[in-house]
Amino acid sequence: MNPAFQGLLTIAIGVGGCLSYFYFSNQFLDKVLFPARGPNAGKNINRANLVRPWLFLLPAIFALGLYLAYPVVETIRLSLTERQTLSDGTTIYNFVGLANYAQMSADPKFWEALINNMLWLIVVPAMSTAFGLLAAQLTDRIAWGNIAKSLIFMPMAISFVGAAVIWKLVYDARPPGSEQIGVLNAVYVWLTGNDPQQWLTTPFWNSFLLMIVLIWIQTGFAMVILSAALRGIPEETIEAAIVDGANPFQIFFKIKMPQIAGTIVVVWTTITLVVLKIFDIVFAMTNGQWGTQVLANYMFNQLFVARDWGVGSASAMVIMLLVTPILYWNVRNARKEMR
C-alpha cells in the first residue's frame, strides 16, 4: 500500500475512531447504562457523571501508560538482565543483578560521556539563558525589536540535524594554503596567520563547538520566555528606581533580575532537559568520536551498534536518574499551583 494513502487512512481511522469512541461511549452511558429517566433518573445522572471522566481519559491514559510509564518499568527490568538467544531461536532474559552497571562503569567511553554531559549541563543552559536575557533586554527597547527577536528565535524551527550541517560548514577546514571555506578557519587564519585547524577533531575544545550549536538553537527560546517576564514587571518598581537615581545597569541587576528569578529557573531547567537528551547534534557531527561522546549517543551505540540491551538500558537509567530531580521539582510546583 502506498504510504501516503496509508497515512490518510490512519488519520481517518485514528481521528474517526477516537471521535466515534467518545461519541458512542457517551451515548451508551447516557442511554443504556444509566438512562436519565424512570424512578432512578437523578441517581443515574450522578452515576453517569462519576463514570464519564474516565471515558474521556481512557485513550490518553492507555497511551501514556503503554508508551511512557510501562517503558520506565521495563527499562529498569532490562537493565538488570542479560539477553540470551537459545539454540532453538527463542530469546530469554537472564537476571544478572547489577552486572550491566558494573560493565558500564568499567567502560572509559561511558565516563567520557558522563563528564561531557556534565560539561554540557553547565555550559549550555548558562550561556543560552545569558544570551536570551541579553537579547530580551536589548530588543525590548528598540522599534525593530520584534523583527530582531523573530530572527534570533528562528533556529528553534531548524532540526538538530539541519543545524549540524549548518555548523559543520562553519567549522570546515581546508588544507593549509588553500582558500578556507569555513568561516571559523577563515577568521582564524586571517587573524593569527597560523595554519587552519581541524576544529571538530581537536579533543576537549570540539565539545564546546558542539555546545555552541545547541546554544544557538536554545537562545531564542530563552529570549521569548524572558522577554515576556520582563514585560510583566510592574512599571512602578522601575520608575521608583529611576527617581532614586539608579543607573540602567543597577535597574537591570537589582530591580529586574530578582523579579524574574522564577522564570529564569524555569528556562534553565527546560534547557537542562533538552541537554540531557541531546543526541542528534553529536550523532550527526562527530558520532561521539574524538572525545565528544554524550550519554544519549553512548546509549544509542550500545543499543543499535553493540546490540547490548542490558548496558543500553543501564545507560538510559542514568539519564532517567539525572532527570529525576527536575521531575520531582516540576511535580511539586504543579501541585503547589493547583491548591
Partner 1 sequence: MDNIAGTKSSLTWAVHISVAALVALWLFPTVGLFVSSFRTADQIATSGWWKALFPTEQSLTLRTADPDTQMSVDGVYVIEGNLFTGEDLSDEIDMSAWGTSSRDIGAYAPGDTAELRDGERITVQANGDYRLESPVEMEGSRGQRIFVTAELPPDFTLENYQQVLFSGNATDSMAKAFFNTLTVTIPATIIPIVVAAFAAYALAWMDFPGRALLIAVIVGLLVVPLQLALIPLLKLHLGIGIGKGYLGTWLAHTGFGLPLAIYLLRNYMVGLPRDIIENARVDGATEFQIFTKIILPLSFPALASFAIFQFLWTWNDLLVAKVFLIDATGQTTVMTNQIVELLGTRGGNWEILATAAFVSIAVPLLVFFAMQKYLVRGLLAGSVK
d(CA 282, CA 288): 6
Applying CB under 8 A, does 262 fall inside the site for partner 1? no
Applying CB under 8 A, does 228 fall inside the site for partner 1? yes
Quickly tell me which residue has 503503554 as its cell: 66
Shortest Cβ 204–partner 1 spacing (Å): 22
Applying CB under 8 A, does 11 fall inside the site for partner 1? yes
* Of residues 104 and 225, the one with the C-beta less far from partner 1: 225
CB 29 within 8 A of CB 51: yes
Which of these ranges, 97-105, 108-116, 200-208, 329-337, lies near partner 1 under the rule CB under 8 A? 329-337
Q: Which residues pair with 84 in a beta bridge?
A: 92
Q: For the chain, state the CA radius of gyration.
A: 27
* Of residues 70 and 205, the one with the C-beta less far from partner 1: 70
* Of residues 93 and 115, the one with the C-beta less far from partner 1: 93
Applying CB under 8 A, does 127 fall inside the site for partner 1? no
CB 152 within 8 A of CB 221: no
d(CA 205, CA 207): 5
Neighbours of 148 (CB within 10 A): 14
Helix or strand run (H / E) with residue 94: strand 91-95
Applying CB under 8 A, does 238 fall inside the site for partner 1? yes
Tell me the per-residue interface mask from 147 to 186 with partner 1, x by CB under 8 A, - otherwise: -x-xxxxxxxxxxxxx-xxxxxxx-x------xxxxx--x
* Of residues 112 and 314, the one with the C-beta less far from partner 1: 314
Applying CB under 8 A, does 299 fall inside the site for partner 1? yes
CB 201 within 8 A of CB 290: yes
Which of these ranges, 98-106, 112-120, 195-203, 213-221, lies near partner 1 under the rule CB under 8 A? 213-221
Applying CB under 8 A, does 248 fall inside the site for partner 1? yes
Shortest Cβ 176–partner 1 spacing (Å): 15
Shortest Cβ 261–partner 1 spacing (Å): 15
Helix or strand run (H / E) with residue 223: helix 205-231
Applying CB under 8 A, does 60 fall inside the site for partner 1? yes
Shortest Cβ 40–partner 1 spacing (Å): 18
Instruction: Tell me how far CA of residue 119 lies from CA of 114, 122, 125, 280, in angstroms.
Output: 9, 5, 10, 17
Shortest Cβ 224–partner 1 spacing (Å): 6
Rule CB under 8 A: choose which of 134, 259, 290, 291 binds partner 1: 134
Separation of CA 272 from chain center: 8
Which of these ranges, 96-104, 117-125, 198-206, 297-305, lies near partner 1 under the rule CB under 8 A? 297-305
Applying CB under 8 A, does 276 fall inside the site for partner 1? yes
Polymer length in residues for the chain: 339
- CA dihedral in degrees (221, 223, 225, 230; nearest 10)? 180
* Of residues 65 and 203, the one with the C-beta less far from partner 1: 65
Neighbours of 214 (CB within 10 A): 25
38 CB contacts (<8 Å, ≥6 apart)? 44
Which of these ranges, 52-60, 111-119, 194-202, 203-211, lies near partner 1 under the rule CB under 8 A? 52-60
Applying CB under 8 A, does 70 fall inside the site for partner 1? yes
All three cell numbers of 13:
481511522
Shortest Cβ 260–partner 1 spacing (Å): 13
CB 180 within 8 A of CB 191: no
Total of residues contacting partner 1 (CB under 8 A): 116
Rule CB under 8 A: choose which of 33, 41, 50, 240 binds partner 1: 50
